[in-house]
Structure 1
C-alpha cells in the first residue's frame, strides 16, 4: 500500500515537472518574440526620429526660402520695371540703327547714279571730252588720268605746250576746291629707260614727270603748292599688261588724285543729286 502511494506521488511529481518545463519553454519563446518585436520597434522608432529631424530641417529651409521668395517678389517687380525700360531703350536704339541701315542701303542703291553724276559734273566743269582723259570716282576719291601723249614726248619730262591747255582745266577743278589735296602720280610702262644720264630708270622718269606737272600747276596756273603732292609710281601699277605697244601707251599716264574732305565730297554728291 505504501509502495503504491510512493509510485503515485512520484508519477505526479514527474508529470508536474514536465508541465513546468513546457510552460517555461513557451514563456522563453514568448520573451524572445517580445525582445525581437522590441528591437524591431526600436529600429523603426529611430528611423522615424531621423526622418522627423530631416523633415524639421527641410521645414526650416522651406520657411526661410519662402521668406526670401516673398522678399524677391518686390525686387522682381522693381527689376521688371527696370527691364522694361531697358528693353524700350534697346528698341529705340534698334530703330535708329535700322533707319541708318536703311539710309545706307538707299545710298548704296544710288551709288552708280551718283558717281555718274559727279563725273559728268567734273567733265562739264572743265570741258574735258577727250578719250585720253579719264575721270572716275572710287570710294570718295576723284581720279583724273591723262595719257602721257597729251603731256610729254617719248622719254621726256618736259611738259608740252599742248598739255598746258589740258592742265589749265585740271587747275580749275583744284582751284574751285581750295581745301582739297591733290596727288600727282607719274606712271610709266615697263620698257627700261635709256635716255640721258640725269635719269637712272623709270622711277626717276615718273617722278620727274610728276614734279614737272606740279611746277606748271603752281607757277603757271595758280594752284597752291600746299594742295599738291608729287609722286612717282614707275612701271609697277599698270592698267593692262605691257605686252603690246597699245597697252604700254595706256600704262604711260599721269594720274591726278583729288582727295576731298568727306563732308565737302558729300556736299558735291548732294548738289548733283538735286540736279537730277
Structure 2
C-alpha cells in the first residue's frame, strides 16, 4: 500500500510539473527517475508477496509444530502415568518377592531341621531294630519278627509264642521272649511302647468272660502290658494297650497259615519326637 502511495505522489508531481515548461534534458531525467521508481516498485511488490507467502507458511509450520508439541505432551503425560503405575507395581512386586524369599529361607531352614530330626529318628529306629533282633534272635524261629514300618519298629509275636489256645495268660516261652525284649527297652527310655492285640476272624466260643474277638484282643494286650510293667518294671507312662480284634489282618486268606499270622501281639516302638512336634507346632 505504501508503494502505491509513493507512485501517486510521483504522479501528482508530474502533473504539477506539467504546468511548468521543462527543458528536454530535465524532462528526460524525470522520465528516467520515473522508470527507476517503477522498476523498484515492482521489485518491492514481489518481495512483499514472497514475504507474505513465507509468513503464511511459517504460521502453518508453527501451528503444525504446536499440534505436534501438544500431542507429544499428551504422550508424555500418558507415559508418565504408565511409568508411575509400573513403578508402583514394581515396588509392590519387589516387596512381595522379598517377603516370599524371606519366607522361603525360613521354610528351608525349618525343613532342614525337620530332615535332621527325621534322620536322627531313622538312625535311632535302625539301631533299635538291630538291638532287638540280636536280643530276640532265639525266638525268631518261634513266630517272632522285627521290622520297620513308617519310622516305627514293630515286634510281632504270634499267639502261639505267648498264649495257650484261647487264653489270655502268658506262658513261660512268652515270658522269656518278653523278658529279653524288656532288657532292651529298659535301656531305651526315649522309646514309647504300644501293645496291640490282634485276632483272626473266627468267633470266640465258650471262653467265659471273653465274649468276642474284641475282648480277646484287648485282654491279651493288657496281659502283655501288665507283665512288662509289673514284672519287668518298664515305666507304665511309656505304654499303651489297645485291641484291634480281627480288623487289621496281615493275611486276608482263610487258610490255617493265614489265620495263624493274624493271631498276634504287635509291640510298636516309637522314638520320642518332641523336637519334631515342637518344631511343627511353631
TM interval, shorter chain, is 0.5 to 0.7
**Structure 1 equivalent of residue 137 of structure 2:** 128
How far apart are the structure 1 equivalents of 2:162 and 2:156?
11
* CA-CA distance at 1:151 after TM superposition: 0.5
Contact 2:132–2:181 at 8 Å: present in 1 too? no
* CA-CA distance at 1:200 after TM superposition: 0.6
* Match among 202, 207, 226 for residue 213 of structure 2: 202
**Structure 1 equivalent of residue 260 of structure 2:** 249
Contact 2:166–2:207 at 8 Å: present in 1 too? no
* CA-CA distance at 1:197 after TM superposition: 2.3
Contact 1:171–1:221 at 8 Å: present in 2 too? yes
Higher Cα Rg, which structure: 2
Distance 1:95 1:147, change over 3 A: same
* CA-CA distance at 1:229 after TM superposition: 1.0
Contact 1:189–1:242 at 8 Å: present in 2 too? no
How far apart are the structure 1 equivalents of 2:125 and 2:228?
26
1:66 aligns with 2:76: yes
TM-score (ref. length: structure 1):
0.59
Distance 1:242 1:156, change over 3 A: farther
TM-score (ref. length: structure 2):
0.58
Where do 5+ consecutive residues of structure 2 fail to align? 1-62, 277-282
How far apart are the structure 2 equivalents of 1:78 and 1:68?
15
**Structure 2 equivalent of residue 231 of structure 1:** 242
1:150-189 equivalences in 2 (<5 Å)? 150-189=161-200
* CA-CA distance at 1:159 after TM superposition: 0.8
Distance 1:129 1:83, change over 3 A: farther
Contact 2:185–2:191 at 8 Å: present in 1 too? yes
Deviates more, 1:145-154 or 1:94-103: 94-103
How far apart are the structure 2 equivalents of 1:136 and 1:247?
19
Contact 2:195–2:239 at 8 Å: present in 1 too? yes
Where do 5+ consecutive residues of structure 1 fail to align? 1-51, 266-276
Q: CA RMSD in A?
A: 4.3
How far apart are the structure 1 equivalents of 2:218 and 2:84?
77
Distance 1:64 1:129, change over 3 A: farther
Q: Deviations over 1:67-95 (max 9, x none)?
A: 46458769978987997897788779879
Contact 2:131–2:184 at 8 Å: present in 1 too? no
How far apart are the structure 1 equivalents of 2:275 and 2:144?
24
How far apart are the structure 1 equivalents of 2:96 and 2:165?
70
1:98-109 equivalences in 2 (<5 Å)? none
**Structure 1 equivalent of residue 7 of structure 2:** none
How far apart are the structure 2 equivalents of 1:129 and 1:96?
49
Secondary structure, in 3 states, of the residue corresponding to 1:168? helix
How far apart are the structure 2 equivalents of 1:134 and 1:227?
22
Secondary structure, in 3 states, of the residue corresponding to 2:196? strand
Instruction: Work out the number of aligned pairs and report it.
Output: 209
